Amino acid sequence: MAAFFVLDEDLSTHTGLETRIAALIAPTLVDLGYEIVRVAVLGRDVPTVQIMADRADGSQITVDDCEQISHAVGAVLDVEDPIPGNWTLEVSSAGIDRPLTRVKDWVRFAGHLAKAEVNIPVNGRRRFSGVVLGGDEAGGRLRLDDGSEVVLPFAELRKAKLILTDALIDAAQREAGVEPEGEAETSEDVSSSAAPTGRGRQKKPGARRH
């Protein structure tokens, strides 16, 4: 199972192949105007390297963006060779019900519902769901159903993800410049299209080069 980790400015506190790959590809993606949301390596015989990315300007990521990232990341991994043997590269956008992997994600999506799981119990439990209250160096903060608040240390987060709700979809549509249903004008000259809910993906076969 892939490790869950936070990708912020300092990667030195993280270990493992995913963090090494993130450190290798981050400068290239930053130069192209992208940010890493998550890196995961799945499988053994022919592992799949999954890269989840955002546009640095906050605009909607497209299939063309994923293709550009795929070519750039593939070139870096071919040269640096962090993975022995053959591998496959998969690039995707974060999607609407995206994972919360960085402090900025917890801050950006404050007020929306999320679920999370930790490696070591916090207040006697491992799984949580509630309203995102923000985040800082101490961890991500949630308000639970009973009204209590909890801080989930990033070092112990196994996974955290937004819960798909109408409010979240409306927020995503507004970010994409699309008026949510019910708010659009009714004039025949005005058309409205739903914000993308899927994830653009590009797969690139890779092979170790000698």
Co-location of 82 and 141 in the same domain:
no
pLDDT tens profile 90-100: 999 988 999 99
Does a structural domain hold residue 81?
yes
What's the pLDDT score for residue 91? 96
* DSSP assignments along 123-158, one per residue: TTEEEEEEEEEEEETTEEEEEETTS-EEEE-GGGEE
Confidence at residue 181, expressed as pLDDT on a 0 to 100 scale: 61
pLDDT-derived band at 200, boundaries 50, 70, 90: very low
Do 76 and 116 lie in a common domain? no
Least confident of 20-34, 104-118, 164-178: 164-178
**Does any domain span residue 64?**
yes
User: pLDDT tens digits, residue range 113-157?
Assistant: 999 999 999 999 999 999 999 999 999 999 999 999 999 999 899
Report pLDDT for 84: 86
Of residues 159, 176, 160, the one with CA closest to residue 168: 176
Beta strand 149-152 with 48-55: parallel, antiparallel or unpaired?
Answer: unpaired
- Whether residue 58 has pLDDT greater than 90: no
CATH number at residue 130: 2.30.30.100
Both 38 and 79 in one domain: the answer is yes
What value, to the nearest 5°, has the Cα angle with vertex 17 and ends 162 and 88? Answer: 80
Domain ranges, residue 157: 103-162
Structural domain tally of the chain?
Answer: 2
Q: Is the pLDDT of residue 38 over 80?
A: yes
Higher-confidence residue: 144 or 176? 144
> pTM above the 0.75 mark?
no
The pLDDT of residue 36 is: 93
Q: What are phi and psi of 101, to 5 degrees?
A: -115, -15
More confident site: 76 or 188: 76
Top-ranked range on mean pLDDT: pick from 3-12, 37-46, 130-139: 130-139
